[in-house]
Each structure stands twice: as C-alpha cells, then as structure tokens.
C-alpha cells in the first residue's frame, strides 16, 4: 500500500480513507461491472459514445490504484457477448477506444508492473484488435504486479458452455474415458483457469444484477453496488468498496466466527457434506 500513499496527497480524502484499510485483509481479486456510460452521456445530452470515452479515465485510475494498493487481480467487464446488439457505430467506437487505450496506456501499465490478459471469445474480434491485445499481453507478460484481466466478448453462460465443450473434446481425444468432473477440474478448464475467484464484485449505476459476468466464479464474492455511473467512479469509491468489504463476514456456507457457531460438527459429518444441516448457505 506504500505506493498508494506515495501517489496521493498527504491528508487528502484518499489518503485518509486508505489509512483505514487493513493491508493484511485486502481483497485478492476485485471484479468490476462498469455500467452507466450511456446514461452518463444521455444526462448531458451527448451521444452514448461520449460516455464510453469518459469511461476511460476511471479505467486508468482504478488500474493504477489497484496496482499501488497491492491488489493481486483486477478483472474488468468491458464488452459482453450481448453487446453486439448495439448499433454498429457504438460497437466500432468501443474497439477503437480499446485500441487507443492500449497504445496510450501501455507505458503506464509497464511502469506500474501490470500484467495484462483477456478472457472471452477473443478469436472472433476484429483482427487488428486481436493483434493489439496480443502485443499488450506479450509486452507485459513478465510484469510482476497486478494481474489485469479485461473481459471482451465475454458471457458467463458462454464460458460455461465453452468449458463443457472443451472438456468433452478432451475426453473424445482421450478415447472418452468419461471420468466424473470435479469442481476443481471444471474451474481449471474455465477461461479463468489459474485465477483466484473474485473476493469483491463492484457494480456501478445502481443495478442489482450480475449480468452474465463470471457466473461460476462469483459464487461467494461480496457484492458492492454504487449508484454512481461508471464515468464518475473515482479512487475514493474504490476505497469505500474495499473498506465495506473488510467489514463483511465471509462464511462460505459455514457459520463464521467460532462464537456464532456453537459446538463443532463432527469431522466425519463435515467430510460427508453434512455442513449444510447446520444452516443455510450464507
């Protein structure tokens, strides 16, 4: 977190909020549904694409702040499989913005030690976009800091279907041994293989939806929603989300702190999955 304190003005609101954060309990992985660009523009009687342009600043600020705070993983939902239904000009502007962003921000990503990667059905994106994504991934591949993942042409259901098909194809090539699939093996075949599940899911613009984002991976994520539209999202909002996350008790279906639990269930019952009889999933 020292890098964050070096980057902000001493005594500023950001510095004061960051001082309240427990560095030992930072979320390891933050995922963000960046929503509200269109409404931000509409409220200003501007074309929707002006909202996307204004959405680049909080992308940059959030990445930088996460890198400086020492967050391990950040995943941004930038384009869903459903977003192709938008007018062609808007879709094209989004690709242009992404290419422009990569070109302009690459030195900053490198300076901050950020390693860039993408998830989604990337192979159907325009070729020039794929080329730029590839070179950003190669150029940042040895960076030791924040692992930044941008979800592009991504859908949670498509990911699950792609994963099932990948497993079936592997089985077919291996002579269809049809071994039962475990949760661990399934996770290891998702687009996010090797990544930890998000601890904290942030959504802007006040909607209480997960919108087909990381459906498998957010099973136990803490969700934090702000009314602010994405172009208005600032470092202070990120800090508020982290502070709020640190106040939550994560139970993963168990009963949390020992004093709330009562007597321990017998080990053999837990091993048999009987933990459920001690309370609903939470």
**CA gap 53, 27 in Å, rounded:** 28
Nearest alpha carbon to residue 234 among 79, 24, 8: 8
Residue 85: CB minimum distance to ligand FPP, A? 11
Q: What is the DSSP letter of 211?
A: T
- Pick 52 or 235: Cβ nearer ligand FPP: 52
Site for ligand FPP, residues 220 to 239, rule: CB under 6 A: 230
Half-sphere exposure of 111 (CA within 13 A, CB side): 10
Three-state secondary structure call for residue 190: coil
**CA gap 30, 223 in Å, rounded:** 10
Sheet of 115-119: strands edge to edge?
A: 115-119, 147-154, 73-80, 29-33, 200-203, 222-225
Q: Where are the alpha helices (H) located in the chain, listed in sequence order?
A: 2-7, 13-20, 37-43, 48-54, 56-69, 88-111, 127-139, 156-173, 183-187, 235-247, 258-261, 267-271
Binding mask 57-86 for ligand FPP (x = CB under 6 A): --x----------------x-x----x---
Is 149 one of the binding residues for ligand FPP (CB under 6 A)?
A: no
Q: Which stretch binds ligand FPP (CB under 6 A): 23-31, 36-44, 127-135, 180-188?
A: 36-44
- Pick 52 or 147: Cβ nearer ligand FPP: 52
- Pick 71 or 94: Cβ nearer ligand FPP: 94
Choosing from 83, 162, 212, 232, which is the catalytic residue?
83
Backbone torsion region of residue 66, taken as left when φ is above 0, otherwise alpha when ψ lies between -120 and 50, otherwise beta: alpha
Residue 219: CB minimum distance to ligand FPP, A? 24
Given a contact cutoff of 8 angstroms between Cβ atoms, the answer to whether 54 and 29 are in contact is no
- Pick 207 or 264: Cβ nearer ligand FPP: 207
Is 37 one of the binding residues for ligand FPP (CB under 6 A)?
A: yes
| Residue 35 is among the residues annotated as catalytic for this protein | yes
Residue 52: CB minimum distance to ligand FPP, A? 5
Site for ligand FPP, residues 168 to 207, rule: CB under 6 A: none
Is 98 one of the binding residues for ligand FPP (CB under 6 A)?
A: yes
Is 97 one of the binding residues for ligand FPP (CB under 6 A)?
A: yes
Is 242 one of the binding residues for ligand FPP (CB under 6 A)?
A: no
| Active site amino acids | 35, 83
Query: Contact residues for ligand FPP (CB under 6 A)?
Result: 34-39, 52, 55-56, 59, 76, 78, 83, 94, 97-98, 101, 150, 230
């Amino acid at each position: 977190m020292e890098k964050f304190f070096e980057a902000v003005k001493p005594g500023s609101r950001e510095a004061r909020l960051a001082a309240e954060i427990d560095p030992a309990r930072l979320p390891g992985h933050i995922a963000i549904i960046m929503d509200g660009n269109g409404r931000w523009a509409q409220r200003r009687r501007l074309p929707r694409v002006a909202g996307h342009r204004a959405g680049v600043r909080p992308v940059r600020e959030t990445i930088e702040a996460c890198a400086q705070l020492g967050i391990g993983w950040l995943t941004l939902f930038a384009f869903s499989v459903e977003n192709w239904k938008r007018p062609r000009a808007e879709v094209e502007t989004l690709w242009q913005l992404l290419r422009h962003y990569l070109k302009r921000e690459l030195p900053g990503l490198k300076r901050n030690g950020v390693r860039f990667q993408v998830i989604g059905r990337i192979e159907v994106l325009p070729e020039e976009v794929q080329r730029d994504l590839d070179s950003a991934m190669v150029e940042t591949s040895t960076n030791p800091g924040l692992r930044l993942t941008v979800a592009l042409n991504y859908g949670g259901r498509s990911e699950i279907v792609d994963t099932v098909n990948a497993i079936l194809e592997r089985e077919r090539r291996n002579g269809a041994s049809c071994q039962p699939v475990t949760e661990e093996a399934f996770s290891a075949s998702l687009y996010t293989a090797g990544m930890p599940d998000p601890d904290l899911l942030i959504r802007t613009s006040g909607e209480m939806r997960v919108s087909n984002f990381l459906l498998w991976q957010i099973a136990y994520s803490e969700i934090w929603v702000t009314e602010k539209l994405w172009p208005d999202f600032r470092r202070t909002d990120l800090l508020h989300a982290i502070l709020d996350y640190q106040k939550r008790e994560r139970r993963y279906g168990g009963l949390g702190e020992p004093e709330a639990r009562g007597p321990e269930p017998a080990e053999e019952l837990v091993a048999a999955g009987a933990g459920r009889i001690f309370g609903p999933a939470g």
